[in-house]
Amino acid sequence: MFEADANTDRAVGLLRRLAKDRSGNTLALIAAAIVPLLGMVGSGVDMGRAYLASSRLQAACDAGVLAARKKLGTEAPVTGAISPEVAEVGQRFFNLNFSSGAYGSENRQFVMTLENDYAISGDAGVSVPTSVMTIFGFTEIPIKVDCEALLSVRNLDVMMVLDVTGSMRHTNSGDSMSRMESLKSVIRSFHAQLENAKAPDSDIRYGFVPYATNVNVGHLLENGWVTSDWTYQSRVVDGSENYWGPKTTNENWRDVSGDVSAAQEESRYAATYTASVDNSGTWSCPQSTPASTYSSYTEIISTETTTDSNGNEVVTENRRLTQNGKTYWQSLEGQECVVRSQEYTNYVRTYDRVTRQAEQQRSVYEYRPVDLKVAAWRSKLDGCIEERATTEIADYNNVDLAQNLDLDIDTVPTRGDPSTQWRPSNPGVIYARSFNSGGAGSFTPETVRSSQNFANTGTWWFSDCPAKAQKLSVMDEDELNTYLATLAPYGATYHDIGMIWGARLISPTGLFAAENADTNGAERGRHLIFLTDGQTEPYDMAYGAYGVEGLDRRRWSPSSPISLAETVEARFGVACSEVKKRNVTVWVIAFGTNLNQAMLDCAGNGQYFEAGNAEDLNAAFSAIAKSIGDLRISE
């Protein structure tokens, strides 16, 4: 019994000690915790790798769409699609930033889409295999990201200085349209690209300076900016003289058959009064007459040659005239215009057309600088100008703008000071002495008295006034087309006057500062696109922005150390430098020609193009459009 009780007590004590001893639970606890520990550590490793892959995949997606959108540029509104070339660029940048198998990934994918707002969106995805979580049945982690790049254009001024000289009517090899029509088409595309790429809260303004021998800017100038008196190389009548020469008259009219009605009054209307340049006025009849049905036919029946009493030859042609139909005309009677008509019905007459030597009278002119009143220039003249005071510059690296106001793009004229004002171009009164109507002769600075009609070179082709320039303004498609329709190819190539006025119209600190300056702290982007299809081509007989160069000699003379062409290019360079000082980016395009050194110097690296045809020209404008856009990730 005792022994039995003793054994029992020993057993109970052992159990109590075991119950109090916890060291034997460690393995059990570890065994129980091993599975959740593996889950936590494994998920941390696998998810960390997946997070790194996701971040890198997002960066690659962003890089791909940015590269693709930059390549597409502002052509999206025109093409409406992502071209294979654009897609290839986007895919290449994506691949460079997320290589195949990166982070052990599989099934790499990248798809781009052109959105309605011309952004390029991207969807990218990979699968990252798990290393530890696979024991729990999770063999891979799918990763998907999206991205979007938008090219937008914010507040922007674009001034286009366009060569509209006669050579723009030519067609480049491989093109189906003239240079002028090709240019218009490319500008329309350029406008569409920018308009569809602009940000919702921004505006784009477009300006134009068509240039040739001159620029047409008169309508943009205030009255006080233009002088009302100026001196032109012209002529005045200085008497008359008699001379012997051939004179032709129609004589001996005889009715043969048919009928002609008496003149009939059709209608009357009030005449129009117009002030003239010299402050006088004229009345005129501006309305059109009804369409005429009149036609006539003349035939020579016989010709006879005789001599007069002085032995001079007399030629007599006997002619027959046949008339049919109704004709209309109008005449000014006081301050009324009277429209009349007359009708012919197979009306046949004969007459003699006689040419004989006779004493006649002609005017004698004094050819010289003539002071003229031009206060009515705005209504009576074509709108081109003569430049303000300037000098012949010896050192184009150190130009005194106070002495050469033609190259000062900002100074506003002082009313009553002709040296600071512009002068109205007055081509109808210009005569280049002493050149005859065929262009033969030489310059005579001195006054010349002659009955000869010297060359009125102000009206010759190389003196033509181009289409009107336009200040910077917002333009829709219809407004653009209306303006482009005014451009026509005439005149010679004077690059300096185009650059000078392109600079004036875009400068934020000059004549139009109130319209062009930055407002509300928002800086505008400013770009001047200068396009030409030819080299500098001045004519010393031409009448342009500096008068008749060979006579007025304001910036150049026949004895100058450099040629007139070199003078034009040097002044072009000064004007280009001045506009760039106003934080304006200048682009230069040669269309169907090569860029000369003056143009290369003006544009600088990366901002000039040589376009041999319309396709090249479109590529040049598209490159410019891309460069002035704001490329950014939009989501």
From CA 601, how far away is CA 495, in angstroms rounded?
A: 14
Q: In this structure, are residues 120 and 72 in contact, taking their beta carbons and an 8 Å threshold?
A: yes
420 falls within a domain: no
Q: What would the pLDDT profile of 219-258 be if each residue is shown by its tens digit?
A: 999 999 999 999 999 999 999 999 999 999 999 999 999 9
**pLDDT: which is higher, 524 or 323:** 323
Residue 72 confidence class, pLDDT cut points 50, 70, 90? confident
Q: Are residues 144 and 43 in the same domain?
A: yes
| Digit-coded pLDDT (tens) for 368-385 | 999 999 999 998 999 999
Nearest alpha carbon to residue 616 among 591, 587, 594:
591
Task: Report CA-CA distances (Å) from 8 to 16, 20, 452, 487.
Answer: 13, 19, 158, 124
Q: Is 3 left (phi over 0), alpha (psi -120 to 50) or beta?
A: alpha
Angstrom CA distances, 610 to 171, 265, 532, 542, stand at: 16, 63, 10, 29
Same domain, 178 and 81: no
Domain assignment present for residue 440? The answer is: no
Per-residue model confidence as pLDDT tens digits over 205-221: 999 999 999 999 999 99
| pLDDT: which is higher, 259 or 80 | 259
pLDDT in tens, 484-509: 999 999 999 999 999 999 999 999 99
pLDDT bracket for residue 415 (50, 70, 90): very high
DSSP-assigned letter for residue 559: T
Q: pLDDT at position 139, please?
A: 80
* 543 is a domain residue: yes
What tokens were used for 155? 């507040």
Domain span including residue 68: 24-152
Same domain, 469 and 618: yes
Examine the domain organization and report whether 477 and 620 are in the same domain.
yes
Q: Reply yes or no on whether the pLDDT at 350 is more than 80.
A: yes
The pLDDT tens digits of the residues spanning 276-297 come to 665 567 889 999 999 999 999 9
- 336, 364, 392 - which closes a domain: 364
Cα-to-chain-centroid distance, residue 522: 25
Checking if the pLDDT of 517 tops 80, the result is: yes
- Is the same domain home to 468 and 610? yes
CA distance linking residue 527 with residue 441, whole number of Å: 45
Length of the chain: 635
| pLDDT for the residue 306 | 95
Is the pLDDT score of 12 beyond 70? no
**Do both 341 and 471 map to the same domain?**
no
Query: What local confidence, expressed as pLDDT, does residue 360 receive?
Result: 93
Helix/strand/coil for 111: strand
Same domain, yes or no: 164 and 200: yes
Give the pLDDT confidence score for residue 220 in this predicted structure: 98
Structural domain includes residue 406: no
Q: Which of 105, 127, 152 is the last residue of a domain?
A: 152
Mean pLDDT over 12-25 rounds to 58
Read off the CATH number of the domain in which 516 is found. Answer: 3.40.50.410
Flag whether pLDDT at 404 surpasses 70: yes
Q: Which has the closest alpha carbon to 153: 193, 106, 104, 207?
A: 193
Q: Where are the alpha helices (DSSP H) in 346-467?
A: 377-380
Q: Which one, of 208, 207, 221, lies nearest residue 412 by Cα?
A: 221
One domain, residues 281 and 215: no
Query: Is 102 a domain residue?
Result: yes
Whether the predicted pLDDT of 69 surpasses 70: yes
Q: Which pLDDT tens digit goes with each residue over 424-478?
A: 999 999 999 999 999 999 999 999 999 999 999 999 999 999 999 999 999 999 9
- Residues of the chain above pLDDT 90, percent: 74
* pLDDT value, residue 26: 57
* Contact between residue 95 and residue 113 where contact means Cβ atoms under 8 Å apart: no
Give percent above pLDDT 70 in the chain. 88
Of 363 and 5, the one with more pLDDT: 363
In a domain, 235, yes or no: no
Assess whether 208 and 98 both reside in one domain: no
Distance of alpha carbon 418 from alpha carbon 450, whole angstroms: 31
Domain termination residue (choose one: 364, 379, 399): 364
* Residue 32 belongs to a domain: yes
Confidence (pLDDT) at 201: 79
pLDDT at 2: 39
**Alpha-carbon distance 91 to 521, whole Å?**
39
Do 54 and 171 share a domain, yes or no? no
- Note whether 526 and 566 are same-domain residues: yes
Q: What's the pLDDT band for 175 if we cut at 50, 70, 90?
A: very high
SS (H, E, C) 562-607: CCHHHHHHHHHHHHHHHHHCCCCEEEEEEECCCCCHHHHHHHCCCC
**pLDDT at residue 3 in the model:** 43
User: Is the pLDDT at 200 greater than 80, yes or no?
Assistant: no
Please check the confidence at residue 179 and state whether its pLDDT lies above 80.
Answer: yes
Q: Are residues 493 and 519 in the same domain?
A: yes
Judged on CB neighbours under 10 Å (0-12, 13-18, 19+), 257 is exposed
Rounded average pLDDT over 176-181: 97
287 within domain boundaries: yes
Q: Has this prediction a pTM greater than 0.75?
A: no
φ and ψ at residue 287, rounded to 5 degrees: -75, 150
What is the number of domains present in the chain?
3
Q: What is the pLDDT of residue 48?
A: 80
